[in-house]
Structure 1
Amino acid sequence: MNDHLAVVDLGYGDAGKGTVVDALCASDPVTAVIRFNGGAQAAHNVITPAGRHHTFAQFGSGTFHGVPTHLSRFVVVDPLALAAEAAALGNPFHLLTIDGDALLATPWHRAANRARERRRGGARHGSCGMGVGETMEYALSHPDAPRVADVTSPARLRARLAAVRDALGPLDDVPPLEDVVDAFLAFGRTVSIVDGGHLDRLLGQGPCVFEGAQGVLLDEWRGWHPYTTWSTTTFANVAALCPAFVRLGVVRTYTTRHGAGPFVTEAPLDLPEAHNGVGEWQGAFRVGHFDAVAHRYAAEVAGGVDALAVTHLDAPPRVPGLRICTSYELDGARWERIRPGPAEDLGHQAALTALLDRARPGDLERPDDWADRIGELLQAPVLLESHGPRAGDKLFRQAAVV
């Protein structure tokens, strides 16, 4: 790998970004894994050749290979969740740098997130319950929202945390202010906090991998509103950080979705998940046929992809009923394309959600070569085939390297 590369999920998340990043870091020297969206709600599963499993959240998925992680300014940093993840990994803080301008998620953001979902009852939008959306929403209306650099100033940190508490409270199950201040100050003494120039230096040292969180079909502006995330899941943040990079889109051989929202190709397929299930906040883990229509839309609104990583290629031989959906039936019409609407038009996205709730699978097929057919349907070459969870289960197609 000679170029910077960005890994983006073209579905609803859970397509295997972590295992793809792990394989990239195992196959070639990588200067750093750079996180460019989301926060502690990421759940990227990696299994080592020896069988060790870890679900990466804020640390990059190249950590087992000793590849440094940089959390860019677009990441919502949760110091408490980060401390727990670091402990599970053996505290590899020497591999971590964090942009001081990144937002801080606090226990009040998390509690407000969970309280909001409880109030929705059976009409939940779906959430990981980590407060990432509340952190982003609070920052939009509060210029003094706490940021990572604030942990270097006890007085400023205390004032900004108190402002969050007062604005979002009263809330249950949150620790006292002084306990949070102490924990965040300890975080500041432990991690390496850097400015924006650090990322430029990393990019100048050698190839970096940008690791995305969640998926394009959950994007804050392009997903099926309101069943979306408060995060830009396309390549847009990477483009703001890096002048040139290869765009790698990740898809499974079957489409999945955690929680509520449209899912046209959902089907009762026997596809058990080792590391995904029903979550208290996310809801059920749903599966269905490969949705070429939705994934084509994702690639289009993401600005296109240079290559694909196709994961779970071990599934089709085990599940004879699995198919690829190449069109929808909607109100008597056949849809092969979901036409993107204007940028940042949530009204259009909500109307699209209502349409997709009525859509049903149209044409279904079962190809002989799943990777080639998916590449043909999404009009991009397949760079990586994944036939299992470990790096050794990956096949790189050299002809597809761009």
Structure 2
Amino acid sequence: MDHCKIATAVIGAAWGDEGKGLLTDAFSDSSTVVIRHNSGAQAGHTVQMDDGRRHVFHHFGSGTFRGAATYLSQFFVCNPLAFGYEKKALTDATDTTPTVYAHPDCLVTTPWDMMLNQMAEEARGSARHGSCGMGFNETIQRSRNPHLALTVGNIVDMASLDLCKYLDRIRNDYVPARLKELGITPSQAWSNRLASPGALSMFMDACANFLGTVLITRDAKDDVFTKSKKIVFEGAQGLLLDARRGTFPYVTNSRTGLTNIVSLAHTIGLETLQIIHATRAYATRHGAGPFLRESPELKYEDNTNLPNEWQGTLRFGELDIDLLTESIRLDYADQSLSELRIERCLAVTCLDQVGHSINYWDKDARKTTEHAEFLECLRERSGVQNIITSHGPTRSCVSL
């Protein structure tokens, strides 16, 4: 594929929050299309510019400040309400509306998926799963019934009246059945929100706004890529939250590693792919679930993952190289990569936050070394020689 000479995949190698936004920004320019190949609006990827601009990306690719286009693939779940808020914020920051393409098979999150998600987490009390409350998993659950699934293509094809009737069926028939399945009796406040006509009208407006912004394309080889010299696959969450790899139920209903990337690479016709598995210089987890090497006394500054009622406070720990390298090994082992030329890379972000030395675990032993020795240990244990590092929050702090 001559016009797409450079293709890079950015994958989180832990529980998310590894610096994927920073790395996507570092590899993007105005000739780039950023492909969102998993997850949905619950992703939060921070990009900070040297001129002071800062944005946490949810739908739009993290190369947007560089003029990159975004492609929401069929593996992405769209949330028109969240999309509208983000579009306004980015339009205000860039004075232009970013270019976004969407596959018609993208699933669509409704307000009732979000409400169900939040009610379910509330009902779990101290046994919460760590959900963001954005309705992603509930969207997947509802869409397992083909008569209740809602896609971008459905919204394009349906007249307003038909879409209203379809949404009424979700609200009036599906939601009560799902609540019964979950064993939840909604409070009066939740019942009022579920029945609110304002939620329906707001969502209808959001769908119209969404369709007025995105360009729908089924074939990934259409103009999305004919004008692009670079492709960046921007992953969301991390390998340890993968639906088939993480610790159930503290996972996401998404393939967070190479699976969807490889499928899309074959569809597009890519021959070469640079794969970057990313980690911070320390470990984090936002939300409930097992956390090897967690250290409650560790605290680092993080202005994106603020404490919230759904995920609580960001948790910190020391990096475990055994866990990191095994997760990456399994990600590669899942794939058939014989038709792609692969360049394997690692990325270590936030090195500026740990001081001159770094504490980490290797072969079940805790070690403290200088950065250079730590990076050499990573090379030896992973077999990957190319390590990208970041000593700050902006693109200029990244050493490629």
Are 1:215 and 2:238 matched, yes or no?
yes
Are 1:366 and 2:368 matched, yes or no?
yes
Instruction: Determine if contact 1:371/1:382 at 8 Å carries over to the other structure.
Output: no
Query: 1:115/1:178 Cα in 2 relative to 1: closer, same or farther (>3 Å)?
Result: closer
Gaps of 5+ in 1: 328-361, 397-402
Partner residue in 2 for 1:86: 87
Question: Which residue of the other structure, out of 107, 111, 117, is the alignment partner of 1:107?
Answer: 111
Q: Tell me the distance in 1 between the aligned counterparts of 2:211 and 2:311.
A: 33
Are 1:324 and 2:360 matched, yes or no?
yes
Query: 1:134/1:385 Cα in 2 relative to 1: closer, same or farther (>3 Å)?
Result: same
Are 1:278 and 2:307 matched, yes or no?
yes
Query: 1:178/1:283 Cα in 2 relative to 1: closer, same or farther (>3 Å)?
Result: closer
Partner residue in 1 for 2:58: 57
Question: Which residue of the other structure, out of 154, 167, 174, is the alignment partner of 1:161?
Answer: 167
Instruction: Determine if contact 1:101/1:195 at 8 Å carries over to the other structure.
Output: no
SS in 1 for 2:233: strand
Query: 1:256/1:94 Cα in 2 relative to 1: closer, same or farther (>3 Å)?
Result: closer
Are 1:236 and 2:262 matched, yes or no?
no
Instruction: Give the CA deviation at 1:226.
Output: 1.2
Instruction: Give the CA deviation at 1:14.
Output: 0.2
Q: Tell me the distance in 2 between the aligned counterparts of 1:251 and 1:371.
A: 12
Q: Tell me the distance in 2 between the aligned counterparts of 1:121 and 1:282.
A: 12
Amino acid at match of 1:302: D
SS in 1 for 2:234: strand
Amino acid at match of 2:77: V
Q: Tell me the distance in 1 between the aligned counterparts of 2:376 and 2:31.
A: 28
Instruction: Determine if contact 2:19/2:280 at 8 Å carries over to the other structure.
Output: yes
Amino acid at match of 1:12: W
Q: 1:43-54 alignment to 2 at 5 Å?
A: 43-54=44-55
Question: Which residue of the other structure, out of 290, 294, 298, is the alignment partner of 2:327?
Answer: 298
Instruction: Using the aligned pairs only, state the percent identity.
Output: 34
Gaps of 5+ in 2: 177-185, 334-342
Deviations 1:295-334 (A, max 9, x none): 122202211681111111112326x5x411123xxxxxxx
Q: Tell me the distance in 2 between the aligned counterparts of 1:297 and 1:102.
A: 31
Question: Which residue of the other structure, out of 132, 135, 139, is the alignment partner of 2:136?
Answer: 132
Instruction: Determine if contact 1:30/1:209 at 8 Å carries over to the other structure.
Output: no
SS in 1 for 2:332: coil
Q: 1:368-387 alignment to 2 at 5 Å?
A: 368=370, 369=372, 370-387=374-391
Query: 1:242/1:143 Cα in 2 relative to 1: closer, same or farther (>3 Å)?
Result: farther
Amino acid at match of 1:324: Y
Are 1:395 and 2:369 matched, yes or no?
no
Q: After the TM superposition, which segments of 4 or more aligned residues of structure 1 sit over 3 Å from their partners?
A: 91-94, 169-172, 198-205
Instruction: Determine if contact 1:151/1:188 at 8 Å carries over to the other structure.
Output: no
Instruction: Determine if contact 2:10/2:278 at 8 Å carries over to the other structure.
Output: yes
Q: How many residues align?
A: 358
Q: Tell me the distance in 2 between the aligned counterparts of 1:234 and 1:141.
A: 26
Question: Which residue of the other structure, out of 1, 5, 15, is the alignment partner of 2:8?
Answer: 5
Q: Tell me the distance in 1 between the aligned counterparts of 2:23 and 2:200.
A: 41
Larger relative contact order (Cα-Cα within 8 Å, sequence gap ≥ 6): 2
Deviations 1:1-20 (A, max 9, x none): 94311110000000000000
